[in-house]
């Protein structure tokens, strides 16, 4: 097919497709992988895991409920937080 036979629409569509592919591999795909990794981490948390919330509260999980965790943040101080508010699992010192 020579360039004279191409429609103007197809020549305008190609750069848009290329930009979308670049956006997918640079922005969308890594974000989805990070969301999946975070969801897997949240689902694997169990009692006595030390975690940090998005607001910076450090605590130890004492109870796992369907949608929340009960965290012990100090002696005789427990708070209930949403599962999706957990930022990360603290690594235990060896």
Domain count for the chain, please give it: 2
For residues 31 and 60, membership in a common domain is answered with no
On whether the pTM is more than 0.85, the answer is: no
Give the burial string for 23-55 (b: 16+ CB within 10 Å, else e): eeeeeeeeeeeeeeeeeeebeeeeeebebebee
**pLDDT tens digits, one per residue of 24-48:** 999 999 999 999 999 999 999 999 9
Residue 22's domain spans which residues?
A: 1-44
Supply φ then ψ for residue 7, to 5 degrees.
-80, 150
Q: How confident is the model at residue 93 (pLDDT cuts 50, 70, 90)?
A: very low
52 and 39 housed in the same domain = no
pLDDT 10s digits, 3-23:
556 677 778 898 999 999 999
Q: What are the tens digits of pLDDT across the range 50-68? A: 999 999 999 999 999 999 9
């Amino acid at each position: 097919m020579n360039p004279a036979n191409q429609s103007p629409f197809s020549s305008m569509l190609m750069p848009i497709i290329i930009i979308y592919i670049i956006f997918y591999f640079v922005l969308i795909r890594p974000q989805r992988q990070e969301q999946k990794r975070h969801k897997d981490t949240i689902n694997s948390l169990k009692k006595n895991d030390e975690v940090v919330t998005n607001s910076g509260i450090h605590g130890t999980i004492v109870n796992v409920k369907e949608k929340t965790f009960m965290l012990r943040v100090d002696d005789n101080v427990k708070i209930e937080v949403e599962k999706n508010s957990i930022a990360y699992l603290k690594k235990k010192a060896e």
